[in-house]
């Protein structure tokens, strides 16, 4: 099997601190304000019913020169968490985010669900928004959802990005004292608790202490998740992508930190070996660098998404991979 290159710490733009951009204004890359991050003015937030489940969805409009980028968040995290990363992406890129049922602005579901069954949820979301195909990025728990979707609905996924994630039940776990903090959503509700455990569970720049606590999911305003958090835990119970990984046919970028207590680096190496068209980038950082170091992470993702896209990518039905019924507009150099 042919695989892309592996980039180790210290290579490329992945050194700690580069592009951290700590600024006082909320909603900008690296912002440390303690108020809730909100979607930027150019983003449209709405509520959609998909397959009987109500989702709060944010769409940042782009020029459709390429498929939209759909972001799948970590457990208990609302869509605002990834605002710094969205702001750091190419402003021409269309971006879709959503709150899982029972998280953020999405009402709690009546019944639990499982990762095995969630591919139709993403497919239905793309249908409602009018997309035939998308690039999909999943971080942590959302990386499991992204893997499941890429295998179950391969025609809907052009490229796949997996950040700080693993293969579910059959993974190399973090230390038990780290994993015990994941059993409750307390860190999403209690800023002081979140700050106290940040370095231990997230690693990377979160070990720097109070200077980064404003970027934690637990320091956003408003109530944290309740039953929806436990539904997400249950959704991953017994789920593993390990036997499915050779079936992932999309070009795949795996991003993993060398100081990630929740998802040890060896998991990314296993995924890289099993996904045929994958490349692995090891960055110097931890579990949440997509949020705390958005500029350098966005640059790596943009490079991957734009590589080899000189011609319009097409979906299985032969339509351009942007919005249904429209031809992607392309700029010189893309």
| Residue 106 a catalytic site member | no
Evaluate whether 187 touches 164 at the Cβ level (below 8 Å). no
**3-class SS at 53?**
strand
CA-based end-to-end distance of the chain: 28
Q: Residues 49, 53, 57, CA angle at the centre, nearest 5°?
A: 55
d(CA 26, CA 298): 18
Of 66, 106, 132, 140, the catalytic one is: 140
For 261, the token pair is 């207590």
φ and ψ of 205, to 5 deg: -70, -15
Q: Please classify residue 255 by burial: count the beta carbons closer than 10 Å to its beta carbon, then call 0-12 exposed, 13-18 middle and 19+ buried.
A: buried
Evaluate whether 303 touches 93 at the Cβ level (below 8 Å). no
Q: Report H helices in 130-211.
A: 141-152, 176-179, 186-189, 191-202
What positions carry a catalytic annotation?
140
């Amino acid at each position: 099997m042919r695989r892309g290159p592996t980039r180790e710490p210290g290579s490329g733009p992945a050194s700690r601190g580069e592009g951290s951009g700590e600024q006082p204004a909320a909603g900008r890359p690296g912002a440390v304000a303690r108020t809730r991050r909100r979607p930027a003015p150019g983003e449209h937030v709405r509520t959609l019913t998909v397959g009987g489940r109500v989702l709060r969805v944010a769409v940042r409009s782009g020029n459709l020169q390429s498929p939209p980028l759909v972001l799948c968040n970590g457990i208990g995290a609302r869509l605002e968490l990834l605002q710094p990363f969205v702001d750091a992406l190419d402003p021409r890129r269309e971006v879709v985010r959503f709150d899982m049922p029972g998280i953020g602005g999405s009402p709690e579901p009546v019944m639990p669900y499982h990762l095995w069954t969630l591919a139709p949820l993403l497919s239905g979301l793309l249908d409602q928004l009018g997309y035939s195909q998308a690039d999909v990025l999943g971080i942590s728990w959302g990386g499991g959802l992204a893997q499941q979707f890429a295998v179950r609905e391969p025609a809907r996924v052009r490229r796949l990005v997996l950040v700080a994630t693993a293969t579910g039940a059959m993974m190399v776990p973090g230390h038990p004292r780290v994993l015990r903090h994941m059993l409750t959503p307390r860190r999403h509700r209690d800023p002081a608790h979140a700050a106290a455990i940040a370095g231990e569970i997230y690693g990377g720049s979160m070990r720097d202490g109070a200077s980064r606590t404003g970027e934690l999911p637990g320091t956003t305003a408003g109530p944290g998740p309740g039953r929806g958090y436990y539904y997400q835990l249950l959704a991953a119970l017994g789920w593993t992508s390990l036997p499915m990984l050779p079936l992932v046919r999309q070009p795949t970028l795996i991003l993993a930190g060398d100081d990630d207590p929740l998802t040890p680096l060896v998991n990314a190496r296993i995924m890289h070996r099993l996904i045929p068209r994958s490349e692995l980038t090891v960055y110097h950082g931890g579990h949440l660098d997509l949020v705390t170091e958005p500029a350098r992470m966005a640059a790596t993702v943009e490079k991957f998404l734009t590589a080899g896209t000189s011609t319009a990518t097409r979906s299985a039905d032969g339509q351009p991979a942007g919005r249904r019924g429209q031809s992607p507009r392309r700029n010189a150099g893309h």
